[in-house]
Amino acid sequence: MIIPAFICDAIRTPFGRYGGMLSTLRTDDLAAIPLAALMVRNPDVDWEQLSDVLLGCANQAGEDNRNVARMAALLAGLPVGVPGATINRLCGSGMDAVGSAARAIRAGEATMMIAGGVESMSRAPFVMPKAETAFSRHAEIHDTTLGWRFVNRLLQAEYGTESMPQTAENVAREFGVDREAQDRFALASQARAAQAQKDGVFDEEITPVTLAQKKGDPLILTVDEHPRATSLEALAALPPIVSADGTVTAGNASGLNDGACALLLACEKTAYKYQLKPRARVLGMACAGVPPRVMGMGPAPAARKVLVQTGLTMDQMDVIELNEAFAAQALAVMRDWGLQDDDPRVNRHGGAIALGHPLGASGARLVATAVNQLHAGKGRFALCTMCIGVGQGIALVLERV
């Protein structure tokens, strides 16, 4: 018998700009913030009974090494007996953590779990490989912020190792997504996010982050840093970042960001026991593979897969949270599904182009935002989906309760 898994609470930090306010925080300290917030928000829970903490993280080469989920759980003050595991499905890590926690509850192997993700792209380190021969004079250095490093030549020969922006250009070319459409999509994302911030839409899902200063009062970050005012003319003036005749720009792509998110999941019996309020049921999760050179198309098959799994259709989705890694791939995916470029269900309050994309945290943020949107609009079903580097997609379906 499948035991329903419910999302009972969700909280995140504001998302910071690259080199912005959150760049002063270690990744493990950043991950601990929403965990601690969940504990404060749910005082009736016996945290000794928490089955596990699963956090997504894509880098794991710096302060997020040595199992950041376990380190964050300890830093947040969870009981030492609560275990933790870090999941790496690159951009899909946070969503995979939520789906995996729900799967454990549905299987009866867990009763209550925390799932989410973290990424500090500002603090991603440079790394150097060891010498392969004695007395070697050869040295390399890799920036771990984003993309390939320590490239496997066989993989490169077979599938290519294009950068993330290059894969977006590939999608734009192959699926006919022009520059103007990308810029219009990016402008809409910024406008929606700005309106959502003005209306306090994200207040429920954001916990303020207090940052100590050497002098003066602490700084308190309460809103996402990445959104910015722009115009279609300003976006059109930005130069392409891949090639002179390209269409992908800094304005129609997501940013490099810092942030963390955590959700509390439980079975019905445990939720009742600790006076938790189930807000959404996790109905299913699915992943799919696509050629790495067009990795942005991953959500297309992943969404179809999870809809078949749950017996639902795209028309039944009241909320669609599609991660905007790039406007080019988001539009190509929507068109593949048969949706209009301005479908009102998609990223109603803006997406990663405006809000930012801290890799390991983004998937969890999509789920948290979708839950809140379902309740605000009294919808029933939500689809959360995103593309993943090296050619994958992930999708998860929720039902409001």
- Indicate the DSSP class of residue 260: E
Assign 325 to helix, strand or coil: coil
Catalytic position from the list 261, 267, 357, 384: 357
Q: Decide if 20 contacts 215 (C-beta within 8 A).
A: no
Cα–Cα distance measured from residue 221 to residue 241, given in angstroms and rounded to the nearest whole number: 30
**For residue 249, what pLDDT band results from cuts at 50, 70 and 90?**
very high
pLDDT at 137: 87
Region 239-244 average pLDDT: 96
**For residue 55, what pLDDT band results from cuts at 50, 70 and 90?**
very high
Strands (E), 138-243: 142-143, 209-211, 219-221
107 exposure class (CB count in 10 Å sphere: 0-12, 13-18, 19+): exposed
290 domain-assigned: yes
Cα–Cα distance measured from residue 361 to residue 257, given in angstroms and rounded to the nearest whole number: 10
350-371 per-position pLDDT tens digit: 999 999 999 999 999 999 999 9
Cβ partners under 8 Å of residue 316, min gap 6? 380, 381
Measure CA 252 to chain center: 18
Residue 223 forms beta bridges with which residues?
none
Distance (Å) of CA 275 to CA 43, 77, 196, 267, 337: 9, 21, 30, 12, 40
Concerning whether 8 is annotated as a catalytic residue, the answer is no
pLDDT at 1: 79
Region 64-70 average pLDDT: 96
Region 79-100 average pLDDT: 98
Whole-prediction pTM: 0.96
- Indicate the DSSP class of residue 314: G
201 domain-assigned: no
Structure tokens, 342 = 């301005």
pLDDT at 396: 98
Instruction: Using alpha carbons, select from 147, 118, 195, 181 the residue that is nearest to residue 365.
Output: 118
Cα–Cα distance measured from residue 324 to residue 350, given in angstroms and rounded to the nearest whole number: 9
Assign 123 to helix, strand or coil: coil
pLDDT at 8: 98
Cα–Cα distance measured from residue 333 to residue 395, given in angstroms and rounded to the nearest whole number: 13
Catalytic position from the list 8, 57, 91, 267: 91
332 domain-assigned: yes
Q: In this structure, what CATH number is given to the domain that contains residue 106?
A: 3.40.47.10
Does residue 135 carry a pLDDT above 90?
no
Cα–Cα distance measured from residue 110 to residue 137, given in angstroms and rounded to the nearest whole number: 52
pLDDT at 214: 86
How many structural domains are present in the chain?
A: 1
227 domain-assigned: no
Instruction: Note down the domain range covering 80.
Output: 6-124+254-400
Element (H, E) at 197: helix 179-199
Nearest-5° Cα angle at 281, 279 to 285: 135
Mean pLDDT of all residues belonging to the chain = 97
Measure CA 121 to chain center: 13
Residue 144 forms beta bridges with which residues?
none
Distance (Å) of CA 205 to CA 33, 94, 162, 228: 13, 16, 35, 20
Residue 316 φ then ψ, to 5°: -80, -10
Rg (C-alpha) for the chain, rounded Å, is: 20
Q: Decide if 394 contacts 386 (C-beta within 8 A).
A: yes
Q: What percent of the chain has pLDDT over 70?
A: 100
Region 187-213 average pLDDT: 96
Cα–Cα distance measured from residue 379 to residue 171, given in angstroms and rounded to the nearest whole number: 32
27 domain-assigned: yes
Region 205-222 average pLDDT: 93
Residue 143 forms beta bridges with which residues?
126
Cα–Cα distance measured from residue 85 to residue 60, given in angstroms and rounded to the nearest whole number: 12
Does residue 139 carry a pLDDT above 90?
no
pLDDT at 317: 98
346 domain-assigned: yes
pLDDT at 336: 98
Cα–Cα distance measured from residue 202 to residue 261, given in angstroms and rounded to the nearest whole number: 13
Region 271-283 average pLDDT: 98
Q: Decide if 120 contacts 65 (C-beta within 8 A).
A: no
Catalytic position from the list 57, 267, 287, 387: 387
**For residue 203, what pLDDT band results from cuts at 50, 70 and 90?**
very high
157-188 per-position pLDDT tens digit: 999 999 999 999 999 999 999 999 999 999 99
Assign 275 to helix, strand or coil: coil
170 domain-assigned: no
314 domain-assigned: yes
Instruction: Using alpha carbons, select from 62, 119, 150 the residue that is nearest to residue 255.
Output: 119
